[in-house]
Structure 1
Amino acid sequence: MGPSNQLSAEPSGRCLRAVRFFTGDMRRCGQWVKRQVLIIQLLDGVLRGTAQVMFVSNPVSGLLILTGLFLQNPWWALNSLLGAFVSTVSALLLRLNRSDAIFAGLHGYNGTLVGMLMAAFSSKGNWYWWLLFPNVFMSMLCPVVSSALSSIMSKWDLPVFTLPFNILTCLHIAATGTAHPYFPEYICTITTLFAFFFVLFFVFLQLFLSVPVGVGQVFGCDSPWTACLVLLALLLCSPAICLHALLGSLKFGAGLALAAPHEDVYSGLWGYNSALSCIAIGGVFYGLTWQTHILSLICALFCAYLALPACTWPFCLFLFCFLFCFFQFQQHVPE
């Protein structure tokens, strides 16, 4: 190889190494973070916790998702960041760091969703600072509820998913209601909670946008720009997860088949549970084969038809049933 070829190969080699460093789960970055001071480790854990909502453990992905949340609503993003930080610190104080679970973000994603949705559901609007107190309290309880559920689910080798978020958020909404003097909630109809503010002229364009927006609705965001940043974050960590998120969000047809209001379908509310289910089966818990790919699509379809009103209850309930049946099947198959 001549000198000119060597010179041209060096920049491309450095670029390739840089791309490899920032993609995947950034293991080399995680090893470097372990040698740093606690505040750096917490920052990495919070960013990974934000990304773990979508089953990825990459701090750059978490940063991209946070950027998207700030584009949607800075107040919601601030509450989600606070929730992730408080739940991570709470898990650290409770010494729940089994197998480095805290700094992998596994105790931060429920806090992220709790903070985000508490701000989205509040009828006091943006920058109502008193909301930070229940946010901190509920986020502190996330690792406690997660640890309690994990001790039960471990008997069947099942993860807790976002069940702590569902339980704590619904408890908060049930305790405050719409008439609370300090923390009133919106009337919990999906159309009121998530109004799609991009008024489009053609139905096919609305349906097209509902696919990426359905992925963004995992964080309660209906902005296409936020959804694109979330998808970019997934692509950065795992192209397979990004693909399954889009395929799962395509199940808006279930909403049309069940005669759901078109505004709900266009705003992605019939896609986010299916997207999570498709990611879990096709990109996380099983190796990527054509069989698991088909299973992930079937799982997403059934999850779309389990039309529960709020949070990620359909995703949790159907995945528990699916993984429990698979666990029972493995128990009865002779080796």
Structure 2
Amino acid sequence: MGTQVNPKRWSPSPEVEQQISQDREHFRKCLDYLREHAAGELEGIYGPDSMTWLIYREPVILLGGLRAILLQIAHPAVAHGVSQNSNFRGDLLGRARRTYTAMYQLVFGGLREATGAAKRVHSLHSRVYGSLPAGAGPRGDGHYRANDPALQRWVLATLIDGAIQVFETFVRPLSIEEKRRYYQETLLAAAQFGLLPEQVSPTLETFYEWYDQQLAGDTLRTGDTALELASLLFNSPFTRGQLDELLTAGLLPERWREAYGLAWGPGEQRAWKLLKGTMRRAINLTPPTLRSVTAWHQAQMRLAQARGERPTVMARVLNTIDSYIDVPFSIRPVAVKVPVDDKD
């Protein structure tokens, strides 16, 4: 996430400084948890057999980005944090690229790269704090900080649910066992955010019980700040047009579709059904290897080389291109090891 200096941001009080210090100490415990439960140094946090790799290898998951942001900024503290501290208005594309790069490093990077990305995100968030209108904070205290566990839990929840919904909408249904496996893996994602397992729901079922309560409750609301940010989202040079609004409206819960004023009449519903069916057929006609994101190929190449195997042609080509230009949805180029048989 990109941040910018906000001249209106108040200097932290001793209490807030103490909270930030406590956040750092707590995050060290989260890193210890990650290292203890990670798949391996080369495999990273989740590893190639995880549901997380299966889901996030699909580039279509990115289509849930606007949905996730709208739900996130429905929390007033998140909306004000983005508005007051982020270069959201001036560099929307750059912010998105940095966010997605960090996401793929967290998911597909080796353990060192993934924990490094988690540290950078946490460090950026430690500088994101500010004041709110009276009564708008998560505890009604008029203040917020990005590493507040309540805010981190909500942001993570939108990503967990969004990944499941987008995958099932455009790729295929997930069995309840697959969803449960995926949710258990998100306990590692929670640690990357700065949340230990005891700070989040322990099971898929309890997660959705809590999440649905949040969506239906009165903590979330679309105030002026959220509506302003939503307008910016749908009017940038990269998201202007009916397609992005249709995709987002189709993926949002009804209450939040209406709250953000997204059209959903008979015409939009017919267009959504057609779009959803067409995309799903196209995706399923494309072999997974050909449609997987570059970061997944780079992770597979890293593991293949460690096993002394020859990486796939697709992985080598994408990795080579990424060495010269910044390929979308990549992490960082894998250093190529020359097999003994190929040496002179």
Q: State the TM-score, normalized to the length of structure 1.
A: 0.27
* Larger RCO (alpha carbons 8 Å, 6+ apart): 2
Which is richer in helix?
A: 1
Q: State the TM-score, normalized to the length of structure 2.
A: 0.27
